[in-house]
Each structure stands twice: as C-alpha cells, then as structure tokens.
Amino acid sequence: MKPIKVLYHYSSGKVDTGSPRALLRMIDSLDRARFQPAFIGPGAGPLVDELHKRNIETIASEVTSASWRTPIKTIARLREKRLLLERLGADIVHVNEPGWNSDIVLAAGLAGIPVALHFHNPQAVSRRNLNFAIARKIFLCSEGQIREIVNFRWIKNKYFVLHNAVDIEFFANGRSIREDLGLTKDAIVIGTVAQISHRKGIDVFLDAGQRLLDKGHVLKFVIVGPKAVREEKYFHSIMNHSQQGKLKDNVIYLGSRADIPDIMASLDLFCLPTRAEPFGMVVIEAMAAGVPVVASEVGGIPEIITSIEIGRTVSAITPEAFASAIEEVLRMGAGRKELGERGRQSLDGRFDLRHMGDVLGGVYDEMTHQKGAGRCAATPKRRGAGRSTEQSKS
C-alpha cells in the first residue's frame, strides 16, 4: 500500500524554540512504512538541516497570506500552489503556526486535500481567516491551551489535543559537561532552558536564586536559550541583573545550545517559572533526563506533572514561592534522584515518540478516509478530544 504523504509547513528555519522541535518529533514518531513526510517552507536553515539528516524531502517555497485586494496575483499564486501540491502527491497538508489565509491552506482546500492546523501558542480564531474554515483538524498541544484560544467555540468540533513528545532515550543518555562549563563535580546546579522573554519568567528565576544565595545556599545557576524576538529591553535587563550582587559569580548564561541532553545531564534541578505555557516541552525533556523539576502550575504543565511524586508545580509565580519550592527539593538530598527517576518513568505511554506516532497516525488515517468529504466530522468535545485509550491510563 502506498504511504500517506504528509506535507508539513513551518515558516521559520530556526530550531531552537518549541514549535520547530515539536515538528521534528512529530516526523520522528511516524511509521515510515505508513507515512511519507515532506516539508515546504524556507530553503535553508537549521530546521532544514535537521530534516535533511532525516532524509526528508524539502521544497523551498514561500508560503504567504492570500489577499483579495490583488485578486489576479492571488488567483495565480493559488493556482501555482495547487499544482505544486498535486505534483507532490500530498495526501495531507499539516501547517504549524499558520498565518492569515495562508495560500498553502487555501490551495489545499481547492484541491480537496485535507488540512491540519497546529498551534503551540495563544491564538485568536477569526471567521475571516479561512484557514479555520478549511481545516479538517486543529491540533492543540494541551487541554490547558484551550483557555488561551480566543473564540474557541468556533473550532470546538475540530480540535484535537496532541501532546508533544520526546525521544526519552535520547535525553536519558546525555553526558555531564560540567567541566566544560566551569562547574565542579560537587556543585549544586539549577538550570532553566527557555527563550529570554518576560513570559518565560527568567526574572523570577534570577530573583529566586538571589533569595536562595542570600539564605546561604551554595548554588550555581545556568540559563540556556535565545533572546526572544522584540524583547531586547527585557534581555538586557536580565543580563544586567545576572551580574549584580551574589548572582554575578553564580550565574552562567549559555545562549542557544544544540546539546540540551548534555545540559540536562549537568543539572541537579530544573526550574521553569513561566508565566504562561501552552504545553512545556522542555519540562518533559528535563524529566526524560531524570532531572527533578520545579515548574509553574500554568497551561499544560499540570498535564505533565500530575502529582508531587514526579515533580513540583508552583501556583504563585513569585520569587518567594519558587525559592521555597526549590529549597524543599534541595532538602530531599539523595531523594532528589528518586524524584527525577519517577518523573522519567512517568513519561512512558504519555509523552514518548511511539505513543505520539500511534495517536497522530490514527488522526491522519481518519483525515484521509474523509478526503473529499468536505468539513471533518465532529470530534469529541473538550475533555475527550485529545485523549486515547493509552492516554487515559495516565
């Protein structure tokens, strides 16, 4: 039987944030005997490099918003995209973080090719954006994300919660690089991996660290992540703050890194004091590495850390609350490793690649069976939309 060809799109060529990493893991999860992934988007960049490592066909083509203010140009572009989709033999078009009336979505709709939209960030649903009308499925990364979707009621019969996944073995096999980072073997190291943005709460991370240092704890703090777009002022304030007082000699900023498993293997505790988080993929990356986690009780994180047996969530996004939670885990001594190991074990059957492949493959099968049938059939409502028989075990 011919594999189902899934054409993915993402507008950025970067790979150091959650959305492109989630895209790569979706592709990694697929059974190649049943599905043939391909990619349309930027012709170069780290994301394309990663796709080439996986022998994924890539098509360099700009995906833009269709505008009826220039009807002749728009019609020509839609015709061009439709012919491209038919030439590629696409059975499904899966668009990550789609824009406004995306030409690839409209062309797929005209060609009768099922479309999936995938959102990893807050989103406003508009009936003037034809993407939402054409899509057969709309993937969200957590139940918690629903609260961040404006006008969610307009897509409630199309949405499906697809939790992000990680290659657990890959993250479990990182090697400590403390020596390379200038950290001693016996240092207690607390780290965070996130874009340097106000939403990610890097200021809370530093302020909590300051409180712990002031109380006499001997700790080192590691921050990994790129500067967020349009947050230059915040980035500079964080860099300045990290050089003040006791933080100056105890904070290491590493920027973007490709060796996240090795970073995780170098930590004693992972902390994410984010103010909002549709899912929190870095949380499961840390847990997969066996690192105990302290994270905000926001968005999709409570769907990951479901009890104090596998991690800690903090409801108040304040330095005091996070310092207290970190201190509690530090007092566990050797019990920290047991907490981290229970966290790692909790991921199997929930956030591993095999589970994602089973769930995603089932949705793709449904979409192709409905090919040419117009709007997709209603999916279960809120609580059941993203669940499967395997998910219900967690």
Report d(CA 51, CA 58) in Å as an integer.
Answer: 8
Which whole number is the average pLDDT over 248-260? 97
Amino acid letter at 241? H
* DSSP alpha helix (H) spans, the chain: 18-29, 46-53, 71-88, 103-111, 130-134, 168-172, 178-181, 202-214, 232-241, 260-265, 281-288, 301-304, 319-330, 335-345, 353-369
β-strands 149-150, 123-124 pairing: parallel
225, burial (CB in 10 Å: exposed 0-12, middle 13-18, buried 19+): buried
Cβ-contact 179, 157 below 8 angstroms: no
174-212 tens-digit pLDDT:
999 999 999 999 999 999 999 999 999 999 999 999 999
Predicted pLDDT at 54? 97
What is the Cα Rg of the chain in Å?
Answer: 22
Quick check: 379 pLDDT over 50? no
| pTM, entire model | 0.89
140-166 tens-digit pLDDT:
999 999 999 999 999 999 999 999 999
Domains of the chain listed by start with CATH number? 4-165+352-393 (3.40.50.2000), 168-345 (3.40.50.2000)
Report d(CA 284, CA 301) in Å as an integer.
Answer: 9
Percentage above 90 pLDDT, the chain:
91
Cβ-contact 236, 195 below 8 angstroms: no
97-125 tens-digit pLDDT:
999 999 999 999 999 999 999 999 999 99
Dmax (CA) of the chain: 69
387: confidence class by pLDDT, cuts 50, 70, 90:
very low
Q: Which tokens in the block code for residue 100?
A: 């406004």
